[in-house]
Every structure is written in C-alpha cells, then in structure tokens.
Structure 1
C-alpha cells in the first residue's frame, strides 16, 4: 500500500483526497484506518507549525474563553475547540493568520461554554453572528475552507447542544438533530466510499438546518419557563 505524498505544498483538499484514497485502497481495514489517522494528524501538526501566528491567535482566544468558562464541562468544551482549531489550520491554505470572521465563528462555537449559552436570546444571537461572520469574510475577501468548516462545525455544536439541553419537544429535538446530522453523515459516507471529497450542492444541504435553527431559536426566545441550571429539558419534560 503506497503512502501518498503529503508535502506541505499540497492543498488541504488534495491531501484529504490522497488520504481517502489510501483508506479506500486498504478496504477500510483497521490498519488502513490507523494509517489514515496517523498521516492526517501528522500533516495537521506540521501545517499548524507552519502558521505560528494563527496558532498563537487561536491559543490566545481560547485562553480568554477558558477563564470565564462554566465549570469543568465548559473548560473541556473550550479545550476541545482549541484542539480542533489547531489541527485544522492547514485549511487556511495560503493565509498565515485568522481573520476577524474566523475569530467571530470560533466565539460562536464556544458559546455553550459561557454564561450566555443557556440564555433566552442565545439562539437569536448565534443566528445574527452566523450572518455577520459570513458578510465580514466576503467583505474582507477572507473566505476560506477553514472558515467554511469552522462555521459548519460551530453551528452543529451549538444547536445540537441547545436542543439536547433546553428543547422540551422530543419531535423538535429529533428533527433538529436529523437536519444537522444528515448532511454530515451523507458527505462523510460518500467521501469514504468514493475515496475523495464529493462535490455536493452546499446550499441544498444546509437549507433544512437553517430552517430548524430559526424554529429552535424562536421557541427558545418565546419560552418563559426554564429548567434548573444544568438539568436538561429531556430530564424534566413529560
């Protein structure tokens, strides 16, 4: 089984396709999966080392978020966010630092770790920040694969956390999680089977998720009764 050339000059998409091809060639056996993960982490670490400014930015930002984090769960959330961000800095491609839009996206993704996360207005705040970081990236011409992936992950993390913690309706919880999970599972499954990242119509995939965000945010905003802090609605709803 040939090991693909993952030179630092290779684009993130090309490197990912090469790794997926290696995984497919190995017929997804445990040894092939282990090699895939090892090579992916190795490249991610080398890519982060090539962007010290971006790594310093994300470390400083997460350190500031770590201080006011809500207890041990909040600190674990921030630590996981830092690790994921650091390992995906290669998606910045030719850029060497995070843009203001990237910083805003990362703040949104860590909202559940702060006191604002469970708030009545948190859903509306996240939707507003989602619109703002997209406009900012386009205005400053800083649109990147990193920003797109961070945006999707930040949204999925926040809304999944919100519905599991605060949404009393099992139907809404199931519909929301399906809307956010289905596109990710579909794209991942196709990529693994084909051995390369598929070209899929992104707007068509995110439309159900965007609709569910509006529904969940509105229900959160209109809800007057809230469960005791730390106790999800799923544990109190009948």
Structure 2
C-alpha cells in the first residue's frame, strides 16, 4: 500500500521516515520524503472537506483579528498551512472538534491584539486547560489535537519569552523547556526511521511550571 493510502497516521509517518532512513538522508532521499509527505497531506486534506472548510474559516476569522504589525497575518497563514498539511492526523474523523478550535486560537494568540497585552500568558493557560478538559469530556482526543496542542504551546510560549521576557536565564530555561522535547523527538524519529512515543506528561511538568512563571512575570511587568 502506498504511503498516501495509509489511514493510520503513525503507520504513514513510520513509512515516510523509513524511506528517509533507507536513503541514508541523502538529498535525493530528503526530496523523496518531502514529495511523499506532501502528496499524502494533499490527499488527506481532500478526503476531509469539512475539516478543510472549518480550518479555513477559523483562520479567516483569526486573520481578521490579526494585528497589522508582526507577526500578524503571516503567523495566521503559517498556522493555516501547517493545520491543512496535518489533517491526516484526524484519522477516522472528518471534522475538527471544539477542543481543536480552542487549540488553534491559542496557537494564534501572538497574531491578535490580546497577544500584545500582559494578559496573553494567562489567556494561553486558560485556553490550554479548557481545550484539554473539553477534549476529554467529549472524547474527541486525536493525534491531530494532541500534536496541535504541543506545537501551539511551543510556538506561543517561545514567542512570548523571546519578545517579552527580559531575563536571560528565564529565556534560556523557557526555550529549553518547550523546544528541546520537540527537537529531540524529531531527531530521534529521523535517526531511527520510526516515530517515537511522545514524552509522558510527567516529563513535561517543567514546561508547565515555566508557563506559570513566564505568564506571571509578564502579567506583573509594568
């Protein structure tokens, strides 16, 4: 079966990474990997027109709320592209859940006016708690929502830290807490040729603690 036809997102990812590893990460292997990944992404999006419309509509609304200054509309456009290219992670579902929508809003806070206020960190934490509880209550947890949650956290908190945190030690700790797990999991997957398990929640507590620290410092900063 072709990679594009695999319905299980993990099996498809493993197959793609396997092609990359077999090609010894050569330029030709990387090009083939990107081609196959893009082909699958387009096919999976086409199979889920409802989700595609939902993502486009949601990002259209977010673009309307985006500030004219950076990161603004460019951030929203990047979020839309990444969301569309990963619709295969919805697996058997053909639409977004309410929890998914809240996750997308959280990931796009930097582009909105709220992102420029001292309440941005508090709002991100509130949205994070809300989408997690909603997904569990409605039984709508999917790989799409799981990974969207991880990348929304990394994108928002790294942005907030780099743009608004003056303390170098806090910046270094925050970037390490959010970027290191993403980089590590990606590197392991490419090296092994299979997608590794994500770090367990207990291993992500430093990132949760950093959220509180960064959000509180940002809220109290004059």
TM category, shorter: over 0.9
Contact 2:4–2:39 (8 Å) recurs in 1: no
Equivalent pairs, count: 221
Partner of 1:33: 30
Q: In structure 1, what is the Cα distance between the partners aligned to 2:27 and 2:177?
A: 30
Change (3 A) 1:9 1:190: closer
Q: In structure 2, what is the Cα distance between the partners aligned to 1:31 and 1:161?
A: 34
Q: In structure 1, what is the Cα distance between the partners aligned to 2:200 and 2:220?
A: 30
Partner of 2:91: 93
Partner of 2:54: 57
Q: Structure 1 residue 116: deviation in Å?
A: 0.1
Stretches of structure 2 lacking an aligned partner (at least 5 in a row): none
Q: Secondary structure at the match of 1:71?
A: coil
Q: In structure 1, what is the Cα distance between the partners aligned to 2:58 and 2:7?
A: 28
Query: Aligned runs of 1:120-139 on 2, under 5 Å?
Result: 120-139=118-137
Q: Structure 1 residue 126: deviation in Å?
A: 0.6
Partner of 2:42: 45
Match of 1:215 among 190, 210, 213: 213
Query: Aligned runs of 1:57-76 on 2, under 5 Å?
Result: 57-71=54-68, 73=70, 74-76=72-74
Contact 1:176–1:212 (8 Å) recurs in 2: yes
Q: Structure 1 residue 9: deviation in Å?
A: 4.0
- TM-score scaled by length of structure 1: 0.90
| Rg comparison, structure with higher value | 1
Contact 1:183–1:205 (8 Å) recurs in 2: no
Q: Structure 1 residue 72: deviation in Å?
A: 5.2
Q: In structure 1, what is the Cα distance between the partners aligned to 2:113 and 2:158?
A: 17
Q: In structure 2, what is the Cα distance between the partners aligned to 1:204 and 1:194?
A: 24
Q: Structure 1 residue 200: deviation in Å?
A: 4.5
Q: In structure 1, what is the Cα distance between the partners aligned to 2:169 and 2:205?
A: 19
Change (3 A) 1:85 1:209: same
Q: Structure 1 residue 176: deviation in Å?
A: 0.4
Question: Cα RMSD over matched residues?
Answer: 1.2
Partner of 1:168: 166
Q: Structure 1 residue 82: deviation in Å?
A: 0.5
Q: Which runs of 4+ in 1 moved over 3 A?
A: none
Q: Structure 1 residue 10: deviation in Å?
A: 3.0
Q: Structure 1 residue 103: deviation in Å?
A: 0.4
Stretches of structure 1 lacking an aligned partner (at least 5 in a row): 225-238
Query: Aligned runs of 1:139-218 on 2, under 5 Å?
Result: 139-218=137-216
